[in-house]
Structure 1
Amino acid sequence: MEFPFYDSPDTATIICCHILERQAPILYVSHDEDDGMWQFLCGETHETDEAKLVSLKWVFDLDNSVSTLKDMPCGYYAERKTQNDDWIIRKR
């Protein structure tokens, strides 16, 4: 599958350690309004030191289902209950 995002594949994104270590799926995605940063999280509460930086391409390669969020504007977030559910997108 071709990289679908408008942002560069090497765009830095925030990901939680649980996803990075492949202990949990991506269940929450935020496209921050203030700086345009993408965040990919497992849906649990985290401490600041549990946030890691990876490229947007790394996230896409890990879970192609995030490609459906490529048009999600800044100031919105998406969530799902399980990895097999559809994304529900909401304005923050």
Structure 2
Amino acid sequence: MLFPFEDAPNTATLICCHILDQNASILYVFHDEDDGMWQFLCDQQHSSNEARLVSLEYVFHLDPSIAALKDMPCGYYAQRKSKYENWIISKKS
């Protein structure tokens, strides 16, 4: 599958250590309004020391279902209850 995002493949993103180290599912995605950064999180509580910096392309290869979020604007977030469900996109209030 071709890389679907308009952002460059090497765009820096934040991902939680549970996804990287424990194979947790990506269940929350934030596209920050202020700086355009993407964040990929599981359903656990997180502290700042659990954030890891990886490329958007790396996250895409971990979970190609994030391709459905390629057009999600800054200031929005997506969530789902399991990796087998569709993303629900909402505007951050």
Give the TM bin, normalised by the shorter chain: over 0.9
Distance 1:34 1:21 in 2: 28
C-alpha change, 1:57 and 1:22, in structure 2 (3 Å) is farther
Matches within 5 A, 1:2-17: 2-17=2-17
Structure 2: gaps of 5 or more residues? none
Distance 2:54 2:22 in 1: 14
Does 1:72 find its partner at 2:72? yes
Structure 1: gaps of 5 or more residues? none
Does 1:62 find its partner at 2:62? yes
Distance 1:21 1:44 in 2: 13
Per the alignment, in what secondary structure is the counterpart of residue 57 of structure 1?
helix
Normalising by structure 2, we get a TM-score of 0.96
Per the alignment, in what secondary structure is the counterpart of residue 21 of structure 1?
helix
The Cα RMSD (Å) is: 0.7
Give the total of aligned pairs. 92
Q: Which runs of 4+ in 1 moved over 3 A?
A: none
Identity, in percent, stands at 65
Distance 2:43 2:73 in 1: 20
Normalising by structure 1, we get a TM-score of 0.98
